[in-house]
Amino acid sequence: MASKAILPFFSFTIFLLLLPLLFHSVLAHSKDGKPSPFEYLQHLQGCHKGEHVKDLHKLKKYLHNYGYLSNYDNSKTHANDDDFDEFLESAIKTYQLNYHLKPTGTLDAKTVSKMMSPRCSVADIINGTTGMVSGKKRQGSKSVHRVSHYAFFPQEPKWPASKFDLTYAFLPGTRVDAIGPVGRAFQAWAANTHFRFTWIGDYVNSDIKISFESGDHGDGDPFDGTQLAHAFAPTDGRFHYDASWNWSVNVTAGSYHLETIALHEIGHLLGLHHSSVEGSIMYPSFKPGESKGLHADDVQGIKALYNF
Ligand SMILES: *[C@@H]1O[C@H](CO)[C@@H](O)[C@H](O)[C@H]1NC(C)=O
Ligand SMILES: *[C@@H]1O[C@H](CO)[C@@H](O)[C@H](O)[C@H]1NC(C)=O
Ligand SMILES: *[C@@H]1O[C@H](CO)[C@@H](O)[C@H](O)[C@H]1NC(C)=O
Ligand SMILES: [Zn+2]
Ligand SMILES: [Zn+2]
């Protein structure tokens, strides 16, 4: 008798105990039920050197992904632990400088908010070369004054002078509504360069190959849910959108603009790296519903790379 009365009471107590867990898991998931890949960043807001906080290793992975923790030798234990050490502080400062944030070295609200913006998955720093604030060399100045502008990939890969007539093709089966926006993006670059771009049906033999991919798609740069697209430096020619986002032909709230992202990725295909000029198309992060065109910084960059 007694056990029968206790059982409902017991279940209710367990329910009460589980309630916060349940609530937390609802909060940590977006509307479509998928876990938010940025959730950990919000919990890390405010942390600084000397602290040991759960999930800091995810922040290290994020920064490492974009080239900010290249000093970490993966064999050292610190790369995968939750210790906020001086390497992490220094990496955050570099990130903040690249994005024109105050270089505090702590994970302040503005830094978290910038990191939560979906972005291009091409690293900001490749082999220790940061495109984003390395304007000093190009300006021919020895001063510490930072000039932010366009950048090139290390070793400045580009298409040979004879190869200005480039063909592009979509992976067979690609959503047809991408053809118009991608074509307009190529025309915008053509209008500002010596390049000509021709859409062909022959995917295998085209110079530029466009497709929608998701997750790990075999090119060594899996999409992790925080990235919109990527493209490879000359003369590779591969340009991948992450199929898991809502993409739109026209500017639409809550969706990403196919043409805007194509302008950015074509910049990579032609040899531009990321720029810290926020208005430029080569700035790495994007907001939903945002549309951008080519900026003077982008046009100056491509002119400088190809000397015209
Ligand atoms: C980075 O440097 C390594 C070793 O010097 C080299 O093999 C690799 O191709 C470089 N990567 C890029 C993207 O320049
Ligand atoms: C795409 O849009 C739908 C409907 O507007 C929305 O429910 C869903 O969360 C969006 N998905 C992504 C990945 O943004
Ligand atoms: C985009 O806008 C244009 C011009 O307003 C319109 O003709 C077209 O149907 C729209 N496309 C989509 C997919 O909504
Ligand atoms: Zn990019
Ligand atoms: Zn890819």
The amino acid at 107 = L
3-state secondary structure of 156: coil
Considering only CA atoms, which of 254, 232, 257 is closest in space to residue 180?
257
Helix runs in the chain, H state only: 2-27, 39-44, 56-65, 86-98, 109-115, 135-138, 179-191, 258-270, 296-306
Question: Where residue 130 falls among pLDDT bands split at 50, 70, 90?
Answer: confident
How do residues 172-195 score in pLDDT, each as one tens digit?
Answer: 999 999 999 999 999 999 999 999
Percent of the chain exceeding pLDDT 90 equals 75
Residues 6+ apart with CB under 8 A from 158: 234, 270, 271, 305, 306
Percent of the chain exceeding pLDDT 70 equals 81
Q: How far apart are CA 249 and CA 255, in angstroms?
A: 9
pLDDT of residue 72 exceeding 80, the answer is no
Considering only CA atoms, which of 119, 219, 123 is closest in space to residue 171?
219
Q: How far apart are the first and last CA of the chain?
A: 92
Distance 157 CA to ligand 1 centre (A): 12
Quick one: DSSP state of residue 35?
Answer: B
Question: Where residue 27 falls among pLDDT bands split at 50, 70, 90?
Answer: very low
Our answer on whether the CB atom of 250 is closer than 6 Å to any ligand 3 atom is: yes
CA-proximal residue: ligand 1, atom 4 (nearest): 127
Average pLDDT in the 208-214 region? 98
How do residues 98-112 score in pLDDT, each as one tens digit?
Answer: 999 999 999 999 999
How do residues 217-246 score in pLDDT, each as one tens digit?
Answer: 999 999 999 999 999 999 999 999 999 999
Residues 6+ apart with CB under 8 A from 207: 163, 166, 167, 168, 235, 237
Residues with CB under 6 A from ligand 2: 31-32, 245-246, 254
Is 48 flagged in the annotation as binding? no
> Is 265 among the residues known to form the active site?
yes
Is 242 flagged in the annotation as binding? yes
3-state secondary structure of 196: strand
Q: How far apart are CA 10 and CA 32, in angstroms?
A: 33
- Averaged pLDDT of the chain: 86
pLDDT of residue 77 exceeding 90, the answer is no
- Ligand having the closest approach to the CA of 171: 5
Q: What is the pTM of this model?
A: 0.85
pLDDT of residue 40 exceeding 80, the answer is yes
pLDDT for the residue numbered 241: 98
pLDDT for the residue numbered 80: 82
CA-proximal residue: ligand 1, atom 10 (nearest): 127
pLDDT for the residue numbered 37: 85
CA-proximal residue: ligand 3, atom 4 (nearest): 250
Domains defined along the chain, listed by start: 39-116 (1.10.101.10), 165-306 (3.40.390.10)
Distance 230 CA to ligand 5 centre (A): 6
pLDDT for the residue numbered 145: 52
Question: Where residue 76 falls among pLDDT bands split at 50, 70, 90?
Answer: low
Contact 289, 254 (CB under 8 A): yes
